[in-house]
Amino acid sequence: MNDKILYLLLPMLVFASLVTAQSNQGAYLKIDYIKVDSETHDEFLSYLETELADFKKERIANTDVESWRGYRVLFPSTHGAKYNYVSVTVASSMDAFDFYDDQESDYLSYQLVKNRFEVPHSEIWRVRNSLLKDDYIEPSNYMMLDFMNVAGGRELEYQMLEDEVALPIHEERMSRDIMEAWEMYELITPGGLNYGYNFATGNYFTKLEHIEYGFDEELIRSQNPNVNIMEFFENIRSTRDLVQSEVWKLLHYITK
């Protein structure tokens, strides 16, 4: 491990040991990125909350799928984004997606033929770590997803940085009621050197205004009073590239 990362890590290990409210570790997420034309927004929203929700409810009842969430991309990462809605399906095993997709393919093809929407691409992620507030029950109203690119050979270093340096700071944010949950994801498929990113973090908030309260100096020093702030951020930047950030607004969800 990079010596500078270790320097940041050691003073915070005691805080990491206090983390107990963890969930979803080892679970898999299938994210479908959906493009809806402006003239069919109302129709799509009605479809998402009725037909699609009922379809997902059936899949949850009959497979290892644990939950489903539908989001609107409130703030996309780029102008002219190729998608404006997102479907997130959570399962305890990747095998659930085999059974799930076999039955879903005909249904989705039918909807595509009706020109309800397009699905430019889909991804499968694995949850590597998570932290939830003690009273966290329902999905948060907002999710900020940060897509990261981590160089080959530095994956363990990056995960240690998230687990042992960033996670205690997120715990402090939750204690101040400005954050509800945090998760770290590793991309399973698709991937490759040219894909653009291979890790992501999900930050969950009740209010949109809470997104503003990130890693400021006061919050960082609350966990490590003697930290060198410039070195803190430099080591984060050297470990991973933040490729893009997006904010999604929750529209509908179903759990077991």
**Count of CB atoms within 10 A of residue 16's CB?**
15
pLDDT band with cut points at 50, 70 and 90 for residue 55 = confident
146 lies in some domain: yes
Question: Which pLDDT score, from 0 to 100, does residue 110 have?
Answer: 55
Strand 199-205 versus strand 65-75 pairing type: unpaired
92 lies in some domain: yes
What is the per-residue pLDDT across 136-160, written as a single tens digit (0 to 9) for each?
Answer: 888 999 999 999 999 999 999 999 9
CA proximity to 9, closest of 194, 230, 182, 165: 165
256 lies in some domain: no
How many domains does the chain divide into? Answer: 1
Residue 112's identity, in one-letter code, is L
Contact 105, 73 (CB under 8 A): no
255 lies in some domain: no
Domain range enclosing 101: 3-250
**Separation CA 194–CA 39 (nearest Å):** 34
225 lies in some domain: yes
196 lies in some domain: yes
202 lies in some domain: yes
Contact 90, 100 (CB under 8 A): no
Q: What is the CATH number of the domain that holds 181?
A: 3.30.70.100
Instruction: Check pLDDT > 90 for residue 254.
Output: yes
What is the per-residue pLDDT across 231-250, written as a single tens digit (0 to 9) for each?
Answer: 888 888 888 999 999 999 99
Contact 148, 197 (CB under 8 A): yes
Instruction: Check pLDDT > 50 for residue 14.
Output: no
Question: Which pLDDT score, from 0 to 100, does residue 88 have?
Answer: 95
Contacts of 24 (CB under 8 A, 6+ apart): 90, 127, 130, 183
99 lies in some domain: yes
pLDDT band with cut points at 50, 70 and 90 for residue 18 = very low
What is the per-residue pLDDT across 77-123, written as a single tens digit (0 to 9) for each?
Answer: 988 789 999 999 999 998 888 754 544 555 555 566 455 688 888 99
